[in-house]
Amino acid sequence: MLELTLNQMLVMASLIAVGYLLRRLKALPESASVVMSRLEVYALVPALSLYTQITKCSVSHFLDNMHLMVYGLVAVLVCIAVAIPLSAVFAKGGYTRNVYKYALTFGNYGYMGNFIVLELFGSDVFYRYTLVSFFVGLACSSWGLYILIPKEKGASLIENIKRFFKTPPFPALLIGMLIGLTGLSRYVPDFLLKALENAGNCQGPVAMLLAGFVIGGFDIKRLFKNTRVYAVTLLRLVVIPVLMAAVLKAIGTDSMTVTLLLVAFATPIGLNTVVYPTAYSTEVETGAAMTVVSHLLSVVTLPFMFYLFV
């Protein structure tokens, strides 16, 4: 498992490097990041959700695995409870502290997490991962974005929750589950399933190219000089996942559930700490530094987490 995980992380690192080079060489316009992001949100991730739920979701399968949603909910609530006071160590107040709150709570559970689970474990286990990450995604899209958007420009927490339910990946998830649970999947044409599968398979590579492309827009040397980022990255990639996995093991949680929670919470800090500060013209360097450092170090730390606990 260690070698397999390391190889997968190197595959992702290679794709991130390609995205970085595309940006630095100006091979694509700067607006390409917007195009790739929208492609993910409006096409590739919904296709992946639809395909997985249509082909894997059944009444018995859902009932056997619905406890995973509880694990995900408890884990993200604990992370939020830890992140709020801990963020004060790195920033006393203001917008930057909110960036630290987000970084201490959420890894790249979506784009990168999906890619890792699909490549390492296949679509059967990925179905289980969608349940683990359900409330993680809800918390990220509501509370997470609420703290990243400046209050004078942002929506309320309730408005963000409503927005989450309207964002294409969530309706796709619900529609896919409905089709799977009702048995209507037998009527879905094979060509449509194949189209959804092929589109879903593109989600991971495009996400890694997007990460590299966004990172390529910053002065890497300058980002490495932010020493506080290394401490946050250590907490995000090692300390929090180790404590989480140790507690789960101590209470007798099965190995696959521990593995899926590690993927959700030991992945590097996602791009929201860059995208939202940039969109609202606030302090972006801290979030960018977290993204760069955590993505580089995760090539080593995530295989190490798997070695310890899987």
Q: Identify which of 182, 67, 74, 211 has the alpha carbon closest to the alpha carbon of residue 131.
A: 67
Alpha-carbon distance of 82 to 236, in angstroms, equals 11
Q: Identify which of 103, 102, 39, 115 has the alpha carbon closest to the alpha carbon of residue 292.
A: 103
Alpha-carbon distance of 165 to 174, in angstroms, equals 10
Candidates 3.30.70, 1.20.1530, 1.10.260, 1.25.40; correct CATH number of 2-309?
1.20.1530
Alpha-carbon distance of 153 to 284, in angstroms, equals 16
Domain boundaries, given as residue ranges, for the chain? 2-309
**pLDDT one digit per residue (tens) for the chain, 310 residues:** 667 777 888 898 899 999 999 999 999 998 898 899 889 989 999 999 999 999 999 999 999 999 999 999 999 999 999 999 999 999 887 888 999 999 999 999 988 899 999 988 998 999 999 999 999 999 998 899 888 887 666 667 788 788 788 888 889 999 999 999 999 999 999 999 999 999 999 999 998 898 889 888 888 888 888 888 899 999 999 999 999 999 999 999 999 999 999 999 999 988 888 877 876 667 788 888 888 899 889 989 999 888 888 7
